[in-house]
Each structure stands twice: as structure tokens, then as C-alpha cells.
Amino acid sequence: MFAQVMRSPLLSTLLFLSTLGLFYLLKLMLSGELSTTTGRIYCALFAVPLGVLWVTLVRVYNRKNPKDRINVWATVPFEIRGVDEGQQWITFKACRNVYIYYSSCLPIAVGTVILLPSNAVYTLITFGLLGLGQFLVYSLTMWKYSRV
């Protein structure tokens, strides 16, 4: 169960949304809507526990799975690692579906950002929905082809 959580796209989604939240806090601090001290406190209360949790989870996972270790500073998503030819084919199909998703949703997202009032919240929500959609398409495709 723990290995599935560590390799789950939901964990990547959580990190993605957390990054968007930190950028929103930075935007509020730079625009003056939030004092710098308060913003730093919010960032510290948000980012430090999340970072400690991530490092702890990776260390526990690496102890339990010494042959299948995760790098704390990994830049390649866990989902991309192809173990064998079958897994590589499933990953190819999932990445293809994500590409199709982006080719249809990016024009809609651009239109939404342009047409809505100039507000960073709308832009962040649009990016968040694009990211969640990507993980949803990827996960559903992986689930569909992994059952076969």
C-alpha cells in the first residue's frame, strides 16, 4: 500500500497544487495584499511541514524497498519509469492520451484566461485544473491498460 501511495499520481498532484499555492502566496506578498512577514509565516507553516513529510516518506520507502529506491530530488516522474516492454507500452498510451488532452484543453484554457477578468486567481485555478486533468487522464489510462 505504501509503495502505491509513493508512486501514485495523487502525490504528484498534491505537490503540484502545493506549488501553485506557494506561488499564490508569493503573488499576494508582491502585490501588497499580504504583509511580507505574514506571507513568510504562511509559507513556512505550509512548505516546511510538506518538505519534512516528503523527505520522511521517501526515506521510509527507500528503507523498505532498497532495490527500487526513489531519489528525494527526482526530476523524472515516477510514472515514466518503464520496467519492461509491456509497462513501456502502457506508459506510451497514457502519455499519448495526455498529449491529446493538452492539445484540446490548452486553447480552451488560453481563451478562459484571456476572457476572464485580469486576476491571478483565475489563472492559478486554470493551471490547477489543467494539472488535475492531466493526472486524471494519465491515471485512468494506466488503470485501463493495467487491468488487461
Domain residue extents for the chain: 1-77, 82-148
pLDDT at 97: 94
87-145: pLDDT as tens digits? 888 888 988 999 999 999 988 888 888 888 878 788 888 888 998 999 899 989 988 98
As a whole number of angstroms, the distance between CA 144 and CA 146 comes to: 6
